[in-house]
Amino acid sequence: MDGLFDPPSAGPVAGPGAGALTSPPQANAPLAVRMRPQSLDEIVGQQHLLGQGSPLRRLINGSGAASVMLYGPPGTGKTTMAALISRATGGRFEALSALSAGVKEVRAVIDVARRRLIDGQQTVLFIDEVHRFSKTQQDALLDAVENRIVLLVAATTENPSFSVVSPLLSRSLVLQLRSLSDDDIREVLRRAVTDPRGLDGRVAISEDALGHLVAVAGGDARRALTALEASADAAVQVEDEGEATPVLEVADVEAAIDRAAVRYDRDGDQHYDVTSAFIKSIRGSDVDAALHYLARMIAAGEDPRFIARRLMIHASEDIGMADPMALQTAVAAAQVVALVGMPEARLALTQATIHLATAPKSAGVVSAIGAALADVEAGKSGAVPSHLRDSHYAGAKGLGSGIGYRYPHDDPDGVVAQQYAPDELVGVDYYHPTDHGNEREIGARLGRLRSIVRGVTGRGRRR
């Protein structure tokens, strides 16, 4: 289950307003369950979906009726919103988990919903992890969704465009939830410390400990509240032994959740220092150090998109043509971050880090574009040779454009002697491959290509 505050049971729920999602939580329920938002005003984050007149706000306010697909990372409010939608519609609530339910369970719920509809009662069907349903299981929902026998609220951590069948997707409103910001998580924690449903002031918490819980959460409110509860339980035991109202410190949180505080400030010097060390370790081919710094960024809740961007830049900046596959690996990791998200995407980021750190290195790409830009900025931008100019317009031939151009594919070798650079840059070499990796082969081939194209061996000038 991956809603903001999950129910203790994933099985079907029967009865009006029944189930852990729609009933008031018990006093001994987990803190994350007790602090589940009970109204629209209590929802933290997702303001991009909750603006006035937005489809989701209308659903939660009970003024809309549409099946909805909630897509986003764990702990961002998917399950909570399903409960609020059910409460607003006044319908009967049924919950299924794709981890345990099959076609039989789906059809059983739909049959019950069809009988209820005869009596004028709507059924809200919540399906968690809907991406884990097979195509057959998803197809079993189509008729019920299209004819509004059930109001489907489905939750998924994966992009539904790739994991949900198109007919079901087209019948649903797809809403993407975002990871909660640090400020959002901080508000959730502060509320839990003081709210009567939560810790009710039995403990206090220092700013450092609060910051550590925010870092540990990684945008997941449920994870933050679970860590807070574990820390508070240990502190309350000390209070029972005669100590005054305890104040949670970083050490208390570390001891409770068995996780050391990560010395990393995403807005301060540590952010830049760790990032710099990460890139320099990859450049220096120290794969183990690179993995250490990657782990520090991940543990501190660094935006995985930032890490992916740095890997893509590094693949061209420090590896380039020495291993052209390095860029493809980095781009693939960025796609995994975008399509799958954390925590699974950390495996792709790790794979890319290992590939880049162990790849042969070359700064040839950087030096080549740098030298070319230097010439352009120095005013060396001579006229394009007439035989290379566009000849696809009336009067082009009269201006000499395109006349004398030699089509390389007409030659058996696919390369012909022909001037491509402006006159003042003929023979200038910008790209100088190293002897590392793939560039060793490129270097040998490049020399022959330059000789053929320029027509005279030795005309190249090194910069």
Domain boundary among 204, 230, 257: 257
Number of H helices, E strands in the chain: 19, 9
C-alpha pair distances (Å), 417 with each of 400, 405, 411, 427: 20, 11, 10, 13
Q: Are residues 37 and 170 in the same domain?
A: yes
Q: Is residue 17 part of a domain?
A: no
Q: The CATH number of the domain where 133 resides is what? A: 3.40.50.300
Tens-place pLDDT, residues 208-262: 888 888 877 878 888 889 889 888 887 766 555 555 778 888 888 887 776 555 5
pTM of the predicted model, to two decimals? 0.52
Q: Are residues 51 and 148 in the same domain?
A: yes
Q: Are residues 168 and 36 in the same domain?
A: yes
68-71 and 92-97 as β-strands: parallel, antiparallel, unpaired?
unpaired
Q: Is residue 416 part of a domain?
A: yes
- What is the rounded distance in angstroms from the CA atom of residue 48 to the CA atom of residue 157? 18
Domain boundary among 209, 235, 257: 257
Q: Are residues 331 and 218 in the same domain?
A: no
Mean pLDDT is lowest, of 230-239, 361-370, 444-453, for: 230-239
More confident residue, 366 or 47: 366
Backbone angles phi, psi at 172, to 5 degrees: -125, 155
Q: Are residues 129 and 245 in the same domain?
A: no
**Could you report how far apart the first and last alpha carbons of the chain are, in Å?**
60
Q: Is residue 187 part of a domain?
A: yes
Q: For residue 90, what pLDDT is reported?
A: 67
* Average pLDDT of the residues of the chain: 81
Tens-place pLDDT, residues 37-90: 887 778 888 888 877 777 777 777 665 567 888 888 877 888 888 777 777 766
| Structural domain harbouring 396 | 385-462
Q: The CATH number of the domain where 456 resides is what? A: 1.10.3710
Q: For residue 385, what pLDDT is reported?
A: 87
Q: In 3D, which of 238, 43, 69 has the Cα closest to residue 138? A: 69
Q: Is residue 24 part of a domain?
A: no
Q: Are residues 195 and 69 in the same domain?
A: no
- What is the rounded distance in angstroms from the CA atom of residue 374 to the CA atom of residue 429? 13
Q: For residue 280, what pLDDT is reported?
A: 92
Q: Is residue 389 part of a domain?
A: yes
19-33, 151-165, 178-192: range with highest mean pLDDT:
178-192
Q: Are residues 196 and 168 in the same domain?
A: no
- What is the rounded distance in angstroms from the CA atom of residue 441 to the CA atom of residue 448? 11
Q: For residue 285, is pLDDT > 70? A: yes
Written as six digits, the tokens of 127 are: 């399906």
Q: Is residue 161 part of a domain?
A: yes
Q: Is residue 288 part of a domain?
A: yes
Q: For residue 459, what pLDDT is reported?
A: 44
Q: Are residues 305 and 422 in the same domain?
A: no
Backbone angles phi, psi at 107, to 5 degrees: -65, -35
Q: For residue 267, what pLDDT is reported?
A: 53
Number of domains observed in the structure of the chain: 4
- What is the rounded distance in angstroms from the CA atom of residue 364 to the CA atom of residue 319? 8
Written as six digits, the tokens of 421 are: 């650079």
Q: Is residue 264 part of a domain?
A: no
Backbone angles phi, psi at 428, to 5 degrees: -80, 130
Q: For residue 59, what pLDDT is reported?
A: 72
Q: For residue 63, what pLDDT is reported?
A: 58
